Amino acid sequence: MRSPTSPPRPTRPPARRRRTRLVGGLVAFLLAVGAAPVYAADEVPNASVELAGPLTPTAPLGWSSDTWGGAKATFSWPTPGYEGDRYLRAEVSDPGSGDAKWWSDPFAAPSADKVWVSDVYRASVPTTLMVLWLGPANQQQFAVIAAAAPAADWTSVGGTVSVPTWAEQMRVMHVIGAVGWLDTDSYGVAAASPGPDVVQTADADAGAEDSVDPNFRPIVSLTFDDGWLSAYHKLIPEMNKRKLPGSHYIVAGFADTPGYGADYVSSDYVLQLARDGHEIGSHTMMHDNLVNLPIEQVLPNLQQSKQILGDFGINIVGFVPPFGEYNDAVQAHIETTYAYSRTVKAGINVEPYMTYELWGVVVTAEMTVADLAGWVEQARQMHGWLILIFHRADEDPPSESFVRPSVFAAMMDHLVAVDADVRPVGEVLGVWQWQPPVEEVVDVQTGKGFDQPDGVGKAYSAAGGDGGDGSDDGCTAGRRGGGAGALALVFAFSACLFGVMRRHRA
């Protein structure tokens, strides 16, 4: 095993390093004469991070540091590296709601359908290897290559990813989103063979895959943010068919509120989910960016949304901050109100879990079953937990936040085929277990209680009335689900603090 503190120094650099230095020298010359550098396809600029910029001799050529979401980090370019004299280090003291990273300058995207992206790293916490695709008219798209487990020694990690047809350039990065440190070196991008996406993690010097328990069942949680009606008509029935429960984070103030029924679930949908074994969590009162709220309003918001959903007779333990935004002050209030919090930071969770900074993978319109299979395989190799994040559904997605129902159904088939351990988030953490909701629901026309089992599974069925196209106004679904007449929920809360007007359905 090569020591990370004293790597051998060859008298003659290998061909790859000679080529890197030659290209770097040309780039340095172009910079010196004022020309913008243009890097070749399949070539990460200054891939071994050896070269210094002519105008910034204390920083690596072709690389820059970056943080977002309020993350606080220090960046350095220490010696010695895994390949040569230098490596990149990012050390996070406070991740905020974001992350920190070194990322390459943009370079030409390879003319291939699929590429292999890799680097060598060591880290004190889980990290993520990613790329950013760049296209015309400022079009951008991040893609996760691999979730990397903590590693004390230099470790190679890589994976394949499909190249968007519109991509003209790309950037590579290795991201850290938790308190800790990350060292990286020896980046690479190359054309890959067609086929399912693969991921490989290995000892950087041994060159062989780490041993993986073939009997380990990867843990997967299916999560849904906001309470979009289209997801409940078009996706949830596919889960129920296969007995795959999920976790649903509802914007409490949207349910049964005038103006929101055309897009968001109503109270009877939430109850139906709870009856059918799904976990219900909170997503604030009105999809509020908690970082932008006066801090004295944050705790009442968290408590009120939990109370409203809890008054359905449901145990509410989980929370997801809208937009993935939170800071230390917000986090402190979340921890006093909920048992866990899931973020939008990309990666796979490994034990011990960061209960209030759970990572996930946002499923977009571009994601394929092969992409999902790659993530599930990563979870298996890492003995980890993959949390998938869904929003809306449409077979002809108008934006990235939608998922195609046909693709979703195939994804569910894959999870069943590989015998994934699919459980709600709260159940994985041991803070939630299913129990039927303690309902106080009355028919306001007859006064009779509504607890009949004949409506189970129908309220959000794609076969139910006109709801399959997502155009349901949120009012008729309860009647199609077996309710007679207008329904109202009896809550013990004061929603007027947040301007929430609840209505009876005619």
* pLDDT tens digits, 74-86: 999 999 999 888 9
* pLDDT tens digits, 240-256: 999 999 999 999 998 88
Parallel, antiparallel, or unpaired for β 169-176 and 107-108? antiparallel
CATH topology of domain 219-498: TIM Barrel (3.20.20)
Q: What is the rounded average pLDDT of the residues 480-499?
A: 31
pTM of the model as a whole? 0.62
At the top level of CATH, the class of 15-203 is mainly beta
Q: Are 320 and 225 in contact (CB under 8 A)?
A: yes
Specify the pLDDT at position 102.
Answer: 96
What average pLDDT does the structure give for the chain?
Answer: 78
Q: Give yes or no for residue 445 having a pLDDT over 90.
A: no
* pLDDT tens digits, 353-398: 889 999 998 998 888 898 888 888 888 877 889 999 999 999 888 8
Two structure tokens written together for 187:
């980046």
Distance CA 322, CA 331 (A): 13
Q: What is the rounded average pLDDT of the residues 337-356?
A: 90
Closest CA to 452 of 461, 462, 442, 444: 442
Give me the percent of the chain exceeding a pLDDT of 90. 46
Domain ranges of the chain: 15-203, 219-498
* pLDDT tens digits, 160-184: 888 988 999 999 999 998 899 999 9
Specify the pLDDT at position 457.
Answer: 36
Mean pLDDT is highest, among 31-45, 285-299, 426-440, 492-506, for 285-299
Q: What is the rounded average pLDDT of the residues 448-473?
A: 34
Q: Please give the backbone phi and psi of residue 101, each rounded to the nearest 5 degrees, phi first.
A: -170, 155
Of 20-34, 137-151, 299-313, the poorest mean pLDDT is in 20-34
Distance CA 222, CA 429 (A): 14
* pLDDT tens digits, 309-318: 998 889 999 9
